[in-house]
Amino acid sequence: MAKLSYDLLTLEIRFREFDDCFWVQYDVLFLWDGEPMVNDALLKRSPVAWADRGKATFRANESDGDSLLPVLKRVLDENRAEYWEPIEPDVILAFYPEQYFPFLPSHWEVSYEREDIKSAREERQQAKAAAGGRLPDDAITVIAFADAYQWRNCTAYMSNGLALVLCVRRNDIQRFHDELAQEYEIFRREWRIEERLRERAGAGEKDSEGSTTQETS
Q: Is pLDDT above 90 for 61?
A: yes
| DSSP reduced 3-state for 125 | helix
pLDDT digits (tens, 9 = 90+) for 144-180: 999 999 999 999 999 999 999 999 999 999 999 999 9
> Which one is predicted more confidently, 209 or 190?
190
Domain segments of the chain as ranges: 2-194
Q: Give the whole-angstrom CA distance, residue 104 versus residue 93.
A: 19
C-alpha closest to that of 70 among 144, 180, 157: 180
Question: Counting beta carbons within 10 angstroms of the beta carbon of residue 136, is it exposed (0 to 12), middle (13 to 18) or buried (19 or more)?
Answer: exposed
Q: Is pLDDT above 70 for 213?
A: no
The pLDDT value recorded for residue 210 is 67
Q: What pTM did the predictor assign?
A: 0.91
CA 32, 36, 39 angle in degrees (round to 5)? 130
Proportion of the chain in helix, strand, coil states, percent, rounded to 5: 35, 30, 35
For 127-149, what is the mean pLDDT? Answer: 96
Between 1-10, 86-95, 152-161, 206-215, the lowest mean confidence (pLDDT) is in 206-215
Q: Give the whole-angstrom CA distance, residue 173 versus residue 75.
A: 9
- Mean model confidence pLDDT for the chain: 94
The pLDDT value recorded for residue 217 is 42
